[in-house]
Amino acid sequence: MKKTVKKLDIVVQGWLEEQKKKRASGEVIDDEDFMDVMLTILQDEAQLFPGSDVDTINKATCLVFMQHKLASLLHGFDLETTSDGPIDTSEGVGLTYVKASPLEFFLSPRLSPSLYG
């Protein structure tokens, strides 16, 4: 888990640095995306977070936003296993064990196919 968190932090730090460079070069004129909005808010209202690193706040907020959007996306689908059995999500006490065989499943949209077009 720590390795995953470190990798995500590196990715989001790269996005943050890229956004800052674009803003410094004048390439970004207006708030184009979520991270631009966060940069504007945190620069204009830095006094709201005394003693806090605004980059860390920005990265953490962006990660939470990404998790929410991913969860929303996944809730739009039904998951079914290839064997029509239940999805096994059991784990040991306090530990998550690697599964002996990979989880195979199908995603099917919950809404009518006519709405995707």
Flag whether 86 is in a domain: no
As given in the structure block, the two tokens for residue 19 are 């956004």
**Quick one: how far is CA 100 from the chain centroid?**
27
Dihedral through CA 55, CA 56, CA 59, CA 65, nearest 10? -120
Give pTM, 2 decimals. 0.61
Instruction: Give pLDDT tens digits for 34-79.
Output: 888 888 888 877 777 777 788 888 888 888 888 888 888 888 888 8
Range of the domain at 37: 2-63
Mean pLDDT on 77-94:
71
Q: What are phi and psi of 95, to 5 degrees?
A: -130, 150
pLDDT the model gives residue 99: 60
The answer to the question of residue 9 being in a domain is yes
Task: Place 1 in a pLDDT band, splitting at 50, 70 and 90.
Answer: low
Total domain count, the chain: 1
Lookup: tokens for 7: 């990798």
Contact 78, 107 (CB under 8 A): yes
Q: Is residue 76 part of a domain?
A: no
Contact 106, 82 (CB under 8 A): yes
Q: How far is CA 110 from CA 29, 71, 105, in A?
A: 39, 14, 15
